[in-house]
Amino acid sequence: MKKLAYVVTQSELGGAQKNILLLSKGLSDKFDITVYCGPGGLLPEELRKAKISAIEVPSLKREVSLADDLKTYSFLVREFREKGYYIVHSHSSKAGLLARLAASKAGVPKNIYTAHGFVFNEPMGRISKALYRMIEKYAASISTDLIVVSSRDLETSVSLGIRSGSQTAFIPNGIDFSHPDYREDSAAIFGIRQSLGLQDDDYVFGSIANFYETKGHRYLVQAFDMIRNKSNSEKLKLVLVGQGRLKDEITSLSGDGVIFTGYVENAEKLMEAFDCLILSSVKEGFPFVILEAVRHRLPIVATDVGDIRRVLAEGDSGSYRIIEPGSSEELAEAMEWMLQNTKTARIAANRTYDLISERYSLQRMLDETMKVYER
C-alpha cells in the first residue's frame, strides 16, 4: 500500500482540517495515511478515533518564525525521506509552503497542494500581497499538482500565472448529505435549543467560525445590534460558535442577545437550533459550513467571497442572501429580510437541498481527488 502524508498548519477543526479528515477516512482503504499538523487542536484526536496516524509538530505554527519554520522544514524532510511517501498533499498557506519545499527536497513523487483561498486575498498591504504572490508562484513551480476548492481561486491562479488551468484541478468540497443522527425528532431539537438558553419562540441567527480577522465577526455583531435595536425584540438571538484569539475582543463589542458557546464538539449539531446561518467572512475558499447549512435545510446569509455565490446560485434564490463583505449595514438588511420572510425562506431552503446535495457529495470529492493522485 502506497504511503500518503497530509500536512496542515493548525489542528483546530476548520475547513482545511475537515477536508483532510474526510479524505483520510474516505481513502484509508487505498493508502497508508499519516497526517502532520500543529499542536493544540482536535484534529489528531478525530483522526486517531478513525485509526489514522497523526503526528503533531510543535514548531508548525501559523505565525512566521524563522527558527520554527526551519525546524519544521528539516523535520519534514527527514520524515518524508525515511518513511518513503509516494504522495505529500499539503493544505493551508504555511504548511503548503514548508511541506512542498520539504517534499521537493526529499524527492517525493507526488507533491500536491490544495488552496483553500489564497493568502494574498486576505486584507493586507500591496507589498505584502506582491510578496505572497511571488512565494505562491515559486511553490507552485515545485508542485506536481495544484487543487483549488473554488472557481474564483482557479481564475486567480490562471490570471496571475501561478498555474495554468490545465495544470490545476478544481475540486469543490463535498459532504455526506444524509441526515445526522440528532435530527431524529422535535424533542432532540428542543433539547439543543434549551442547552443554549434559547426559548422555543426565539428567532436565532447562528454562526460557526473561529474568531479570526478573516471571519468578519465584528461586522456580524454590529449588524445584529442594529436589527435588535430596530425591532426592540428580546426574541432575537445570535449564537456564535467557535474559539480563537479575537474572541475576547468580539465579546466586548457585542450587545444583548449574543450567545458565545466557545468550542463545541461536533458543532454542526447546533445548527438545529438556528433559524438562519450567517457567514460574515471577508475571505474564504469554499467553506464546509455552507454545505452543512444546506444539509440542515437552513436559510443562509453570506458574504460574496470564494465560491459561495456560485454554489448557492444552484439552489433556490429565496433561501439565501449574498452581500458584500465588510459591510455591517448590508448584513443587517439581509438579516432583516430573513426575519420578514421566515416561512418563504424555509420552504426555499428545502428546495436548495434537493438541487445541491448531489452535486457536492462526499463521494464525488473523493473520486475527483483520486484522479489527481493517480495521474
Inform me whether the pLDDT recorded for 181 exceeds 60. no
What average pLDDT does range 260-264 have in this prediction?
92
Confirm whether pTM is higher than 0.75.
Answer: yes
Q: Are residues 302 and 210 in the same domain?
A: yes
pLDDT band at 182 (very low <50, low <70, confident <90, very high): very low
Say if residue 340 is in the same domain as residue 259: yes
Residue 285 has pLDDT above 90, yes or no: no
> Within this chain, do residues 115 and 190 fall inside the same structural domain, yes or no?
no
Record the cell numbers describing residue 98, joined without a space: 514548508
Whole-number average pLDDT of the chain: 94
pLDDT of residue 166: 82
Residue 180 lies in a domain: no
Judge if 222 and 113 occupy the same domain: no
CATH number, domain of 304, equals 3.40.50.2000
In a domain, 253, yes or no: yes
- pLDDT (0 to 100) of residue 120: 82
- The helix or strand, by DSSP H or E, that contains position 146, with its residue range, turns out to be strand 145-148
Residue of 135, 159, 162 whose CA lies nearest to 147: 162
CA–CA dist 22, 16 (Å, integer):
10
Which residue type occupies 277? L
What pLDDT does 117 receive?
85
| 254 inside domain | yes
Listed as own residue / partner, the contacts of 117-121 with beta carbons closer than 8 Å and 24 or more positions apart are 117/150, 117/153, 117/283, 117/284, 117/285, 117/305, 117/306, 118/93, 118/153, 118/156, 118/157, 119/93, 121/156, 121/283
Residues of the domain holding 146: 3-174+361-374
| pLDDT band, residue 126 (cuts 50/70/90) | confident
Q: Are residues 200 and 271 in the same domain?
A: yes
Q: Are residues 53 and 154 in the same domain?
A: yes
Chain centroid to CA 310: how far?
16
Asked whether residue 179 is assigned to any structural domain, the reply reads no
Average pLDDT score over residue span 194-210 = 94
Q: Are residues 222 and 112 in the same domain?
A: no
Per-residue model confidence as pLDDT tens digits over 287-324:
999 999 999 999 999 999 989 999 999 999 999 999 99
Is the same domain home to 154 and 268? no
218 shares its domain with 97: no
Question: Is 333 part of a structural domain of the chain?
Answer: yes
> What is the widest separation between alpha-carbon atoms in the chain?
64
Question: pLDDT value at position 167?
Answer: 83
Whether residue 192 is found in the same domain as residue 332: yes
Distance (Å, rounded) from C-alpha 166 to C-alpha 318?
36
Whether the per-residue pLDDT at 185 is higher than 70: the answer is no
Instruction: Tell me what pLDDT residue 183 has.
Output: 52
The answer to whether residue 181 sits within a structural domain is no
Average pLDDT on 259-278 reads 93
145 and 209 within one domain: no
pLDDT tens for 65-90 read 999 999 999 999 999 999 999 999 99
Question: What total number of domains does the chain contain?
Answer: 2
Q: Please report which confidence band the pLDDT of residue 356 belongs to, taking 50, 70 and 90 as the band edges.
A: very high
Specify the pLDDT at position 180.
61
* Residues 141/100, Cβ–Cβ less than 8 Å: no
Residues 204 and 292 in one domain: yes
Would the pLDDT of 187 be above 70?
Answer: no
Q: Tell me the per-residue pLDDT of 145-160, one tens digit each, with 9 for 90 and over.
A: 999 999 989 999 999 9
